[in-house]
Every structure is written in C-alpha cells, then in structure tokens.
Structure 1
Amino acid sequence: MDNPLDGILPDFSFGGAEFTALWQKLIAALWAIGILVAIGYLIFGIVAMSGASGETNPNPQAHSQGRRKAVWAGIALASLAGLAIIVGAVLTFASPAVASI
C-alpha cells in the first residue's frame, strides 16, 4: 500500500497572513510567559536554599527542597530556552521514520 501522506507537508498559512501573524505572536507570548515563570521558580528555589543554609538556624530538609525546586526550574528554563532546537531535532529525526512507513 502506498503512503497516502507522501509529499504532503504541513502548511500553517491556511488562514492568511493576518492569521499566521496572530498565531505566531500568541505562541511567542506563551513561550515568553513560560520562560518568566521558570525564572521565577528558579529564584524562589535559590532563595529557599540560601534561607535554609543560614549559620544561625540551618535546615537540611528545607535546603534539599529548595535545591530540588531550583534544579527542576533550571531544567525547565533550559528546555524552554532551547525549545526551537528541541522541536527541530524531533521533526528532523521523525521525518525519516515517517517516510519509511
């Protein structure tokens, strides 16, 4: 059986230039909000770590929780910063797999 999708590529310009500009701005805004949220969580995690590491009243459990928050926020921030590269890599590696079906 032949692949019915052979030669068909996604086209996001179906709604015209105004629609294309609108959805691109919307995606960019959501991406920027995600980056800002990740930065906020990273700051809160670092502050929690520093507050729990004080010389007067050290708290290893609170430091560990703050570190966990900071690590996950850092991973999220790195993923959001490299989102275009990640999506491009997935599409690059998925294209040969889909073409061979």
Structure 2
Amino acid sequence: MHTLLIAAAIKNPLDGILPDFSFGGQEFTQLWQKLVAAVWAIGIIIAIVYLIRGLVAMAGASNDMNPNPQAHAQGRAKALGAFIALVALAALAVIVGVTLSFAG
C-alpha cells in the first residue's frame, strides 16, 4: 500500500509531451517514412512466400497416391502462421493507430 502512495505522488514527466517525428526536417521525414514502408513491404513479401510454401507443403502431403498426415499438419501450421503474419502486416497501420489512441 505504501508503494502505491509513492507512485501516486510522483508526477508523470511525459505528461503532455507528444512524439514529433519531424525533428530532422522534411528530407529526413521522407527518408524514414520510405525506409519504414520498404521494410513493411519486404515483410509482406516474406509472409506471402512462407504462405505459399506452407500451402505447397499441404498440397504435397495430401497426395492421393501417398498421403502423409504429419507432413500435412506441418504444412498447415506453417501456412497458418504465415497467414496470421500476413494479416497482422496488412493491418499494421490500424494496429499501431489503435494502440496509440488507447495509450494517448
């Protein structure tokens, strides 16, 4: 209980301060925005490649001549993980926006 009273008495040093990404000028802002967009795009491309690999593994494992349930399950797990990553990357702007609106 004593710790709660101390924490309540301390003033938040970041109260009222908002992040400002324009500290380096217009050129720097354009540069970091392009860099973030490029990394984001590369992440989406990688997730798509892993999704394709998972789907191909599933298709190869569910062959009519030689079905392999374990390989199918592994391919499904890879495809599902890649799909979740792809959805998260596609919705990244919304996720960050919602997170910052709740934090702010």
TM over 0.5: yes
Report deviation, 1:4. Answer: 2.5
Report deviation, 1:94. Answer: 1.4
SS at structure 2 position matched to 1:9: coil
SS at structure 2 position matched to 1:55: coil
CA distance in 1, matches of 2:84, 2:17: 35
Q: What is aligned with 1:23?
A: 32
TM-score after normalising by structure 1: 0.90
Q: What is aligned with 2:58?
A: 49
Q: What is aligned with 2:79?
A: 70
Q: What are structure 2's unaligned runs of at least 5 residues?
A: 1-9
Q: What are structure 1's unaligned runs of at least 5 residues?
A: 96-101
Report deviation, 1:2. Answer: 3.5
- Deviations for 1:29-84, whole angstroms, at most 9, x for unmatched residues? 00000000000000000000000000000000000000000000000000000000
- Identity %, equivalent residues: 71
Task: Considering Cα pairs closer than 8 Å and 6+ residues apart, tell me whether 1 or 2 has the greater RCO.
Answer: 1
Report deviation, 1:11. Answer: 0.4
- Relative to structure 2, which stretch is displaced further, 5-14 or 56-65? 5-14
How many residue pairs get matched?
95
Report deviation, 1:28. Answer: 0.1
The amino acid across from 2:93 in the alignment is A
The amino acid across from 2:11 in the alignment is D
TM-score after normalising by structure 2: 0.88
